[in-house]
Each structure stands twice: as structure tokens, then as C-alpha cells.
Chain A
């Protein structure tokens, strides 16, 4: 029922809003949402790198074995990659070719020196009597007999360098060549070997296996009693010894000329 005599002010109308209240169930929902937001606010957000550190901390037991396996793998790969099919280039000291200008050459790369090995010496040490030439020959390059056949004559060496050491070297070389013409031809610097065919060579075998110890002992015991027989036998022995020497020399040069001889280097010093 309306009370028409009562004054109604603006403040009365606004105070009516004070009586506006949500239903009781609203506060239950409000408290639940409030609790959830409060918990979310309490939880501290971790930085992005914290996840990474947790991952690493969990996998710390695996890291060490994995690292070891990786290191072994790297070593294995490195060994297989770096080990070449052909042996690396090795320095070889040879006598300079005759007619080549003896001068100090600038330091050249290895392959450059190899390409010019026939033309001139790569390096000549100056300031002394000693002559040392260093030429690098790659092992993968097919062996050319030229660096062996171009051995200077003793007189040429002596006249070229004129030093006492060179003269001594020339004398040694002359004695070596005079010792056995055939041996000198076929051994160390023999030029005929260049023309030798493979079919003409004797089959490779161990020289000692050709020696029969029992027969040799018998020959040695019967030598005083049977001079005639000994003569012929001695001649045959000498022949067999020469054959053994030849075979031994052939075997030595065979190993020197073999292209993949495992990086053998020959060093000649005078």
C-alpha cells in the first residue's frame, strides 16, 4: 500500500541500490573462483630456462655414457677419415740431377717440388761443404727410375763440386763400379734395369731357402779329399752365391720400385 505522504528523496532511491544483493549461492561460486585465483597467484611462474635445466638434470645419468660414446664415435670416424688409402708423402733426399742449376730455391709446396723434381733440386744447403738436396716424392706417385738412373759420374761430381768430400764420394763411387761390372750394372744405379722385363726376372723367394745346409756341410767336409770335385763344386757354389745376390738385389729393388710400398724412403747422404 502506497504511503503518499512520505517524501521520497534521491538519496532514498540510491539507498535502494544498497539493498541489492546477489543470491546466497553466488557467494559459494565466488569463493571457489577466488580460491582458484589465489592459488594461481601463489604459484610462481618459472622462467623458460628452468624447464631446460630440469630436462638436463633428469638426463644427467645418460649424459656421461652418451658423451663417451660420442667421443669414441668421433675418434673412430676421424681415424677412418684421416687414414689414407695411400701413405703420405715423405721427404726423400736424393742427389741432384746433373745439369741442373744449383741454386737456392724458394720454399715451394710439396706437390710443386714433386712436379719439378726432374728439372732442378728443390733445396740446396749453402755455406758449407755439405751438399744436401731434399726432394719430396709422394708415395702414391708411380715410381720413376729416372731419379735413380741419373746418378752422376764420379768425375763429373768431383769436377762439379770440387770439394774434398766430393772427391772422396767420387772415389767411392768409382770403386763401387769397378768392383763388379755386372753387379754395378744391375744394382743400385744400374741403367739396364730400366730395360728389364718382369718376365725375365726370377721368381721371388727367400734366398736362404735355396741353401741346403746338409749339402753345404757335405761339400765343406769333402773339399780337402776331393779337390777336382771341389773345384767344380766351388765354381757351382760361386755361381749359386751370385744368383742369390742377384735375387736379393732384385728383391730389394722390387720393394723400392713398388708404388705402394708403404712409404719407404731412401736417404742418400754423402
Chain B
């Protein structure tokens, strides 16, 4: 079921991503032609997604901000080498992921987590929290915080590669192929890592799951 869902998601997402990739390529050509200010549009378009994926990997806001900025700077400095063989989105993500993985490998022992507030303006999130607790006010906030900490701890127990696959697929919504492009591995490896990571997370978050 999960595999078919992922394939369907990838197929459905493909035309949108294709249009998005074309629009990004046009902006990249402008930047390559000397319009440096056009790069700000790419920053504004992808900053939250880049920050989000890095934050979900590091679970630290400051580190995520620095790494996201560094990823944009690296992309800007090497924009002339971008040939358009992949989408700018994939290329930028690859830069960000590589920078984050390098950072995580250098700071394996550091485990300082920062928690961002969950925006309950998101309907799906609000419904999920309503399903998890019937409390309100401070008690609800405490439950949400406890759930976030459990999620972070479970994610940090994964290896870097497994965590990356789960983050890119479940949180950021990338397809298997895009993840394979970003992580420079095969689609089968991505699926294998995703399956293994979910098993570990399911075991860790068992108290919060209802089947």
C-alpha cells in the first residue's frame, strides 16, 4: 500500500514538478546571465523547504538556519556549473543535504534539540492533535511538546542515511527517484532504507499509534 501510494504520489507530482523545474531553470538562466538579484526569487521560494528539511535532520534551529544559508551561498557560487540536467530543486536539495550530512558527521555527539511550535493553522495537524488528546490549553501544549520530543528522539536514533530518507519522503514529500537523485543512490536503496527506518520509528513511537 505504501509503495503504491508513493508511486501514485510521484506520478501525480511529476507534471507539477516539471512546470516548477522549468520555471526554476528560467530563473537560473537569468542568474547565469548576470542578473544576480533573480537569485533572491529562488531563495524566497525554497528557503522554508530547505530550512525545514535541514531542521528535520538536525533538530536544531540555529544549525538549520546556518546550513540553509550556506546551501544557498554554495548554490549561488556554483550556479554557472548548473547545466539543467536535473531540476534546480533537486540540485539545491543535494547541496543542502550534503552540507547537512557533513555537518552531522562532524557533530555526532552533539544532541541539542530545539522545538518549533506546530502551526495549528494546518488542518491536518489540528485534526491529528485533536485525535491524540482531548485536553486544552497548557495541558494540550505540554502534550504536543512531549510528542515533538518523542519524534525528535526517535528520528535521532536513526542513522543519518535512514533519517534523511524518511525526512525527504514523509516530511518533505519527495519521490523515490528524487531522493535517489539527491542522495546519489538507487531507488531500490531508497525504498529499502525507508522501510527499515519506518520499522524503527514504529517501534519507538508505538504508544502514540493506533491501528
- A residues in contact (CB < 8 Å) with B: 1-4, 6-23, 26-27, 29-30, 33-34, 37-38, 41-42
Q: Which residues of A contact B170 (CB under 8 A)?
A: 11, 14-15
Is B73 in contact with A20, judged by CB distance below 8 angstroms? no
Closest to B150 in A: A13
Beyond the given A13-B147, A14-B151, A19-B118, please list 8 additional residue pairs across the A-B interface where CB-CB is below 8 A: A2-B131, A8-B210, A9-B211, A12-B128, A13-B208, A16-B128, A18-B52, A30-B69
Q: Is the CB of B131 within 8 A of A21?
A: no
| A33→B68 CA distance, assembly (Å) | 11
Contact of A9 among B61, B69, B115, B209 (CB under 8 A): B209
Q: Which residues of B contact A15 (CB under 8 A)?
A: 124-125, 128, 170-171
Which of the 9-residue segments B100-108, B185-193, B198-206 touches chain A? B198-206
Give which listed residue, A6, A30, A37, A41, contacts B131 with CB less than 8 A: A6
Complex Cα distance, B14 from A87, in Å, reads: 102
The 8 Å CB contact of A19, one of B69, B119, B131, B210, is B119
Q: Which residues of B contact A29 (CB under 8 A)?
A: 65
Which residues does chain A contribute within 8 Å of B127, judged by CB atoms?
3
B118 touches A14 (CB 8 A): no
Q: Which residues of A contact B125 (CB under 8 A)?
A: 15-16, 18-19
> Is B76 interfacial (CB-CB < 8 Å)?
yes
Q: A20-B118, A41-B73, A42-B36 are in contact. Are A2 and B130 (CB under 8 A)?
A: yes
Q: Which of A10, A18, A21, A27 contacts B209 (CB 8 A)?
A: A10
Chain A residue numbers with a CB within 8 Å of B130 are 1-3
Whether B85 is near chain A, meaning CB under 8 Å from some CB there, is no
The SS class assigned to the A binding surface is helix
In the complex, which residue of chain A has the Cβ closest to the Cβ of B39?
A: A38
Q: Is the CB of B124 within 8 A of A10?
A: no
Q: Would you call A8 and B166 a contact (CB within 8 A)? A: no
Residues of chain B within 8 A of A34, CB atoms compared: 43, 47, 69, 72
Asked if B148 is at the interface (CB within 8 A of a chain A CB), the reply is yes
The distance in angstroms between the C-alpha atoms of A266 and B117, with both chains bound, is 113
* Chain B residues within 8 Å of A, Cβ to Cβ: 36, 43, 47-48, 51-52, 55-56, 61, 65, 68-70, 72-73, 76-77, 115-120, 122, 124-125, 127-134, 147-148, 151, 166, 170-172, 198, 201-202, 205, 208-211
Query: Which residues of chain B are near A41, meaning CB under 8 Å?
Result: 73, 76-77
Distance A16 CA – B130 CA, assembled complex (angstroms): 12
The complex places the Cα of A1 from the Cα of B205 at a distance, in Å, of 21
Partner among A2, A14, A23 whose Cβ is within 8 Å of the Cβ of B171: A14
Chain A residues closer than 8 Å to B124, beta-carbon distance = 15, 19
Q: Is the CB of B51 within 8 A of A30?
A: yes
A3 to chain B: which residues have CB within 8 Å? 127, 130-131
List the A residue with the shortest CB-CB distance to B70. Answer: A37
Contact sample, A vs B, 10 pairs, CB 8 Å cutoff:
A4-B210, A13-B151, A13-B208, A14-B171, A15-B128, A15-B171, A16-B148, A18-B171, A19-B118, A20-B148
